[in-house]
């Protein structure tokens, strides 16, 4: 199938009530490993980059990696810019060919957020790209974006008005979820997802996937969460896998970088495949 628009992936997922993993990659190895999981499981997948990753690697290099690694790929994939408060970075990524962006204006008053999101949607449409919107910050700082304070949830009326007026393709409400590692099992407001989906039909992005239970995933996906974001789990898997292999390498005294890459890549692929299985998207490639 190859690279497809975000909307194609999330609309099908929401219609058939499965979730598609949206995994933040941090470099070439993690990109390759996440794509390998999608191919192995015959699943659609959404690859995400944070603004920090875009700035550290550069949009040209990231896009060249993406194009090279997805050429001829047989499962539906798309490239998404995660939480981006900076309009210039949104424009840069859309110009370079990202399939979708999350314009994160959640620190702005809702009216100003709405005004700017309408502009971002128009800009994305000119590129055939899609937009995720949010009006409340998801708790937790991730790659330098966000806050540890939980923001006030807006009413259903305000949320529905934002979705309908802005024209966003995916909406990310705050439901008690958070980025990073949960210190205790989160209490998630599934009813809010049900209410927003019933009123708007828009697919929901579930943020803060790392640390949620299988029951929570199953329940929220059934309510209409079609895009399930995972970032911290990849970072932890990537670094712990490197650490374990390097400790062993030090003991054995045999320093062979390609063996390290193979080891870490296998662990990252297994982690991503695990989420694909848990979200019910294995075998859903078209
Ligand atoms: P985690 O880091 O908790 O997995 O959350 C990822 C996320 O929501 C990215 O936007």
pTM across the whole model: 0.97
Least confident of 25-34, 78-87, 184-193, 231-240: 184-193
Nearest CA owner, ligand 1 atom 1: 208
Q: Decide: 210 and 232 in contact? Cβ < 8 Å.
A: yes
Q: Decide: 103 and 117 in contact? Cβ < 8 Å.
A: yes
Mean pLDDT in residue range 72-88: 97
Task: Kindly name the residue from 82, 143, 169, 267 that is annotated as catalytic.
Answer: 82
**Token duo for residue 214:** 């299988």
Q: How far is the CA of 231 from the centre of ligand 1 (A)?
A: 5
| Total residue count of the chain as it appears in this document | 286
Instruction: Say what the pLDDT of residue 100 is.
Output: 98
**CATH code matching the domain that covers 2-279, chosen among 3.40.50.300, 3.20.20.70, 3.40.50.2300, 1.10.3720.10:** 3.20.20.70
Q: Is 263 annotated as a binding residue?
A: no
Domain-wise residue ranges, the chain: 2-279
Q: Is 82 a catalytic residue?
A: yes
Taking the C-alpha atoms of residue 106 and residue 113, their distance in angstroms, rounded to an integer, is: 7
Residue to mutate (ligand 1; options 102, 175, 205, 229; most atoms within 8 A of CB)? 229
């Amino acid at each position: 199938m190859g690279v497809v628009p975000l909307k194609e992936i999330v609309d099908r997922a929401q219609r058939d009530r499965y979730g598609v993993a949206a995994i933040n990659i941090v470099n070439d190895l993690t990109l390759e490993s996440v794509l390998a999981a999608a191919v192995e499981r015959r699943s659609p997948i959404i690859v995400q980059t944070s603004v920090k990753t875009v700035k550290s690697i550069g949009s040209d290099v990231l896009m060249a990696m993406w194009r090279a690694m997805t050429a001829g790929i047989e499962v539906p994939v798309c490239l998404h810019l995660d939480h981006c408060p900076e309009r210039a970075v949104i424009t840069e990524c859309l110009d370079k060919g990202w399939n979708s962006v999350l314009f994160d204006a959640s620190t702005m008053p809702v009216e100003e957020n709405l005004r700017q999101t309408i502009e971002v949607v128009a800009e994305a449409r000119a590129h055939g790209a899609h937009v995720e919107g949010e009006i409340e910050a998801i708790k937790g700082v991730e790659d330098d974006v966000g806050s540890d304070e939980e923001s006030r949830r807006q009413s259903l009326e305000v949320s529905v008005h934002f979705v309908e007026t802005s024209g966003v393709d995916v909406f990310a409400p705050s439901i008690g979820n958070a980025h990073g590692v949960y210190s205790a099992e989160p209490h998630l407001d599934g009813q809010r997802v049900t209410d927003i989906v019933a009123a708007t039909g828009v697919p929901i992005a579930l943020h803060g996937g790392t640390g949620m239970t299988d029951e929570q995933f199953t329940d929220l996906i059934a309510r209409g969460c079609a895009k399930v974001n995972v970032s911290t789990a990849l970072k932890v898997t990537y670094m712990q896998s490197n650490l374990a292999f390097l400790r062993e390498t030090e003991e054995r005294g045999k320093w062979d970088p390609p063996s390290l890459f193979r080891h870490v890549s296998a662990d990252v692929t297994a982690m991503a495949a695990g989420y694909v299985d848990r979200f019910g998207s294995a075998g859903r490639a078209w």
